[in-house]
Amino acid sequence: MMKKLVVLLLALVMALSLTATAFADDVTLDVIIAQYGPNTNNWFLGDGMDGSNFVKKFEEANPGVKLNLEVVSWNDIYTVVSTRISNNNAPDILNIDTFADYANEGLLLPVKDYCPEELFGDFFPSFIEQSVIDDTVWAVPDLASARALYYNVDMFEEVGIEVPTTWAELEDACQAIVDFYGGEVYPWGIDMTTDEGQAAFAYYVWGNGGGFTDAEGNWAVNSDANVEAIEYAIGLVNKGFTNPNPATQTRYDLQDMFGAGKLAMVIAPNSLPSYCAQKGYTDVNYGVANIPANEGKTSASVGVMDRIMAFKDDTADQAARNEAIGKFLSFFYDPENYVGWVSMEDFLPAVNSAVGALVEANPSFEAWLDVLGGAQFYPTAKAEWIDVKQGVTNVEQSALTGGDVKTLLDELQAQITK
């Protein structure tokens, strides 16, 4: 009896030590993914990927690489990441929007260290350019979205107006809508909250030939074109053409109002139709058009792009780790997986290989890809971007309470260039 027990114990010890060595050869990657919508978690960790999930499928296809993957909401992701960095516990792979601070502080691995060449060539070059600092690519785009003007077709017909293309036409249209509906319908939606104040800034300054930076790429938030543009936007609010509380009403509030027929026009991403469908706003008959620009200026769409980046880890076996990260990317961007991911939350792709399948599944994608082709992006590669992003929102909110736009923008410019 005793002998049997000893043998059993020995066998157990051997088995355990064997699995231990097997684990030792595995590379485990800590991955943080941003939560884009209700399906993200399910796709990565639940059963949203044909009854299975990304982590399971990846580990089956890549023995020796384990994923410790966490989906974090946009509300918490910055807190989570910076706390982990402070505790010397940065993730291996991170999916987020900004990258410049991490790159400037020497925390990131250059993309060429881990990204397979074939995959690298598949990314849209204009997207890759947005992640370059000092001639080095620090992150790859995971997806994009583009913004355009949505308008309520039925209302426009009822009032008898055309879709505005210039700022002057926009004001006329707003006035006509106010005259027709009284206070029942807001003509124009503006979101100047901390969520997206920078988007509001971009819609107007880019439509007036201005921008966050000048032609040389230096900060120029207080250019004359910008001052005029923001004064115009604030003017729309003051004339009563917009939702009443732009500083606290987010884009989602506006999308709800638009869906419920309370707002006639809103600038929103390509995901608006499915947002409306999900929320049960089935009655809204919408049209899509270019964002109005000032007379003689070209309309610019706002492209928003998020990224995937890899953090350095000096303690790891670099070659094995880099290879594992490469495998993660290859698996993620494999059209078989990636097309499902992009279309699931209604985004636009970042790689050429996905375009064909996406257009086939949903022909409206093609028009959006055109919009995306002409879109401008935020200067997220510049180190001061976070300050500028919060700064322009602050300027807008201060202007809403009566502040002088020029003075406010001058102060912001001085603050970021000091």
Site membership for another protein, residue 221 (CB under 8 A): no
Q: Quick one: which segment of 109-117, 200-208, 361-369, 382-390 binds another protein (CB under 8 A)?
A: 382-390
CB of 86 to another protein, least distance (A): 4
Structure tokens at 234: 């604030």
The one segment of 198-206, 243-251, 343-351, 361-369 that binds another protein by CB under 8 A: 243-251
The piece of 54-62, 266-274, 341-349, 394-402 that touches another protein (CB under 8 A) is 394-402
Q: Name which of residues 156 to 185 contact another protein (CB under 8 A).
A: 183
Beta strands, E only, 157-257:
186-188
Distance CA 165, CA 288 (A): 12
Distance separating alpha carbons of residues 101 and 380, to the nearest angstrom = 10
Closest approach, Cβ 17 to another protein, in A, equals 35
Asked whether 103 and 65 are in contact (CB, 8 A), the reply is no
Rg (CA), the chain: 25
Which of 248, 278, 285, 362 lies at the binding interface for another protein (CB under 8 A)? Answer: 248
Per the CB < 8 A criterion, the answer to whether 163 and 181 are in contact is no
Which residue, 316 or 400, has its beta carbon nearer to another protein?
400
Q: What is the dihedral of CA 213, 409, 406, 190, to 10 degrees?
A: 90
Binding mask 184-213 for another protein (x = CB under 8 A): --------xxx-------------------
Per-residue mark of binding to another protein, 73-112 (x: CB under 8 A): -----xx-xxxxxx--------------xx--x-x-----
Q: Looking at 60-68, 159-167, 255-263, 315-323, which segment touches another protein (CB under 8 A)?
A: 255-263
Query: CB of 90 within 8 A of CB of 105?
Result: no
Q: Please tell me the count of residues contacting another protein according to CB under 8 A.
A: 32
DSSP state of 366: H
CB atoms within 10 A of CB 1: 5
Alpha carbon of 376 to those of 1, 21, 211, 212, 390: distances in Å? 77, 51, 10, 11, 19
Interface ranges with another protein (CB under 8 A)? 78-79, 81-86, 101-102, 105, 107, 183, 192-194, 244-245, 247-248, 257, 260, 262, 386-387, 390, 394, 397-398, 400-401, 403
